[in-house]
Amino acid sequence: MPLAVKQAPAIRSARESSAFAGSSARFVPLYLGLARIAALSLWRPQRRARAAPGRVPGSMRILFVAGIFPPDRGGPASYVPKVAAALVRRGHHVEVICLSDIVRRADADHSFLVRRIRRGQFWPLRVVATTFGIWRAARLHDLLYVNGLGFESAVAALLAGRPTVHKIVGDYAWERAVGRGWFTGTIDQYQRSPKNWQLRFIDFIRTFPLRLAHEIIVPSQYLRRIVNGWDIPAEKIRVVPNAIAARTRSDSASLPSWPGRTLITVCRLVPWKGVDGLIRLLPELPETRLVIAGDGHSRDELQALSHSTGVESRVLFLGDVPQDAVTAYLTQADAFVLNSSYEGLPHVVLEAFAARTPVIATAAGGTGEIVQHNITGLLVPVGDSAALKSAIEQLWREPELGRRLANEAAERSREYFDFNAMVASTEETLRAVMSGNRASNTVQTETV
């Protein structure tokens, strides 16, 4: 017995060493790849951005970096191609490098070059391939405008000697922690919460690129405060509110006929969007159906919930739909609802404004910066299902109120959230970074 006790630590130590070695081996491709990038940056001289033939004096060569890009859906996938095209029209050379499920895809319809990196690789190899690809492209550009892949972009830009501007529309660390089950609270709670080593690590992955960035663009004052809380200097953070360009509407996108009222939500199907709360309200809202446009890993749970609550026949899951179809669906609904517990500055609310669809939203994050209660929409407290139900019933009882809110929202949205103004502010920030100056941080997000 004493012999067994004496041997236990040695056995345990051997097992731990073996486990550590096995875990470390998984990162060998990552280490070797990063070493390769570092070696190349030392052995091959860094090139200055080459002047393109016929380059307009004062124009910039801008490398957009994105984690998602069409045909992907989501905020950056909508934002990047439209802003990139607008900057091309302003005389700049633009190239986009992005992750993609389909690498060989026809992108000739864009006015800029698109380089795609396969998303489905073993992740250490993908990190290496992405960093190397961004580094190679960055050497031929003046600066990087980063809309995803922040860590890889920071390393690549550092090796290439190029400045970066990052656009931040959320907290990557909090989203990753919630998605992996490491944290269950809200984004605001996450900022104040004590962190274990896992959370500290993803915080580092999130914040390290921003410390190296020359400027950071956020869409709301709310996100400016969040990012400033990561020990990022406030003078480096610029608020440029989201805006939407003119939309085309798909004539083929039509909802099935319904005799009652139609409530629509457009979002990723993730826990903080509160779609489950909307489904739970339906038994108390007879003659109301809920249309859900969007997809995500919570879809199976939400479909099961609609079945268990007996409202399956009144919940329509549209799945992932193209942007022109979203616009068409919004115009066919009686009201748009966003029951989220977190938003940076919800782009989809601006879409609803443009479609002249009455908006009901929770006062989460930056939502209150674009929705003014009882003027451009109805705001309710986060997590207050009774207030949400009351707001929906109020619109059903008072259709004239909905029309007034929708019309006022559309008019104010055009004034305060103009697409050309957003592009001009973004261009000013990029130009200031390229010239070594700091952009003005006087842009204010107006409540509409």
CATH number for 69: 3.40.50.2000
What gap in Å lies between CA 215 and CA 232, rounded to an integer? Answer: 10
Give the angle 362-71-208 at the CA atoms, nearest 5°: 65
Q: Tell me how many degrees the CA angle 250-71-223 measures, rounded to the nearest 5.
A: 95
- Per-residue confidence in pLDDT tens, the chain, 448 aa: 333 333 343 333 334 333 333 444 444 455 455 555 444 443 333 333 444 445 566 899 999 999 999 988 878 888 999 999 999 999 999 999 999 998 877 788 899 999 999 998 888 899 999 999 999 999 999 999 999 999 999 999 999 999 999 999 999 999 999 989 999 999 999 999 999 999 999 999 999 999 999 999 999 999 999 999 999 999 999 999 999 877 666 667 899 999 999 999 999 998 999 999 999 999 999 999 999 999 988 999 999 999 999 999 999 999 988 888 999 999 999 999 999 999 988 989 999 999 999 999 999 999 999 999 999 999 999 999 999 999 999 999 999 999 999 999 999 998 889 999 999 999 999 999 988 865 555 444 445 5
| 272 and 223 in a common domain | no
176 & 267 share domain:
no
Same domain, 266 and 156: no
Residues 226 and 300 in one domain: no
Structurally, how many domains does the chain consist of?
2
One domain for residues 35 and 125 = yes
Euclidean distance between the first and the last CA atom of the chain, given in angstroms as a whole number: 76
CA distance 215 to 144: 11
Residue 52 lies in a domain: no
In a domain, 433, yes or no: no
35 and 177 belong to one structural domain: yes
Assess if residue 340 is contained within a domain.
yes
Residues 291 and 225 grouped into a single domain: no
Residue 164 is part of which domain span? Answer: 28-41+58-239
Residues 188 and 300 in one domain: no
Residues 90 and 233 reside in one and the same domain:
yes
In this structure, is residue 447 part of a structural domain?
no
Written as six digits, the tokens of 174 are: 């909090």
User: Are residues 323 and 230 part of one domain?
Assistant: no
Is 160 within a domain?
yes
| DSSP state at residue 373 | B
